[in-house]
């Protein structure tokens, strides 16, 4: 994959293939290790280490900004889920829950880029258990069985870079925050993201 990097980048940037075509042509690009490597080749930053460190650094302040009381059990997941809400982006276009009995085409329908949490069907009164956390691009599950939502989000962000995708309009502030505040890739901030960054650094 390292030897074919320049050819692959040229193809992806110039031809802008559909994700299904990229998956067929470069299947290794959709493996967790290769997403990390490709992101490093493009940005010279470690995807998971930088993302986790930034999330760890900002979680407490994000939760304080959200002022939500029932989210302390899963802080980093809550910090990620709250980000589009706080930035007034479309949370439902990024995070989706479904049942493991739902047909796959229904699970991913309308999801341009996002995180799919598949829940098991349980007839008891207990909360439904998570069966799988998956990354979806262009209505297709491209990575699944990830350990948690923050990990899935980091891989989604890495794939956006690897596939040279544009941020969805309804999620631009969320991805701008991850790019420019969390990963420190670029300094030209929109007013909304600059306001959040200033609050995070107080």
Reading across the β-sheet that carries 140-143, which strands appear in turn? 95-99, 113-119, 130-137, 140-143
Range of the domain at 18: 5-200
Give this prediction's pTM: 0.77
pLDDT at 29 over 60: yes
> pLDDT band at residue 124, thresholds of 50, 70 and 90?
low
- Helix (H) / strand (E) element for 81: namely helix 75-86
CA atoms in the 13 A half-sphere facing the CB of 112: 13
What would the pLDDT profile of 185-199 be if each residue is shown by its tens digit? 998 999 999 999 999
Indicate the number of domains in the chain.
1
Q: What is the mean pLDDT of the chain?
A: 90
């Amino acid at each position: 994959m390292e030897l074919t990097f320049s050819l692959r980048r040229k193809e992806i940037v110039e031809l802008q293939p559909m994700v299904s075509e990229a998956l067929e042509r470069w299947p290794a690009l959709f493996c967790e290790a290769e997403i990390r490597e490709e992101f490093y080749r493009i940005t010279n930053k470690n995807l998971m280490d930088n993302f986790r460190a930034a999330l760890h650094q900002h979680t407490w302040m994000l939760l304080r900004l959200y002022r939500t009381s029932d989210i302390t059990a899963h802080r980093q997941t809550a910090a990620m889920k709250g980000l589009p809400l706080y930035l007034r982006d479309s949370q439902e276009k990024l995070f989706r829950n479904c049942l493991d009995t739902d047909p796959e085409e229904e699970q991913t329908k309308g999801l341009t880029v996002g995180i799919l949490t598949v829940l098991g069907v349980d007839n008891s009164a207990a909360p439904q258990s998570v069966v799988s956390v998956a990354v979806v691009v262009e209505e297709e599950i491209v990575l699944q069985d990830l350990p948690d939502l923050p990990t899935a989000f980091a891989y989604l962000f890495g794939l956006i870079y690897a596939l040279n995708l544009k941020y969805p309009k309804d999620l631009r502030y969320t991805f701008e925050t991850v790019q420019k505040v969390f990963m420190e890739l670029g300094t030209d901030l929109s007013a909304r993201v600059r306001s959040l960054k200033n609050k995070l650094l107080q």
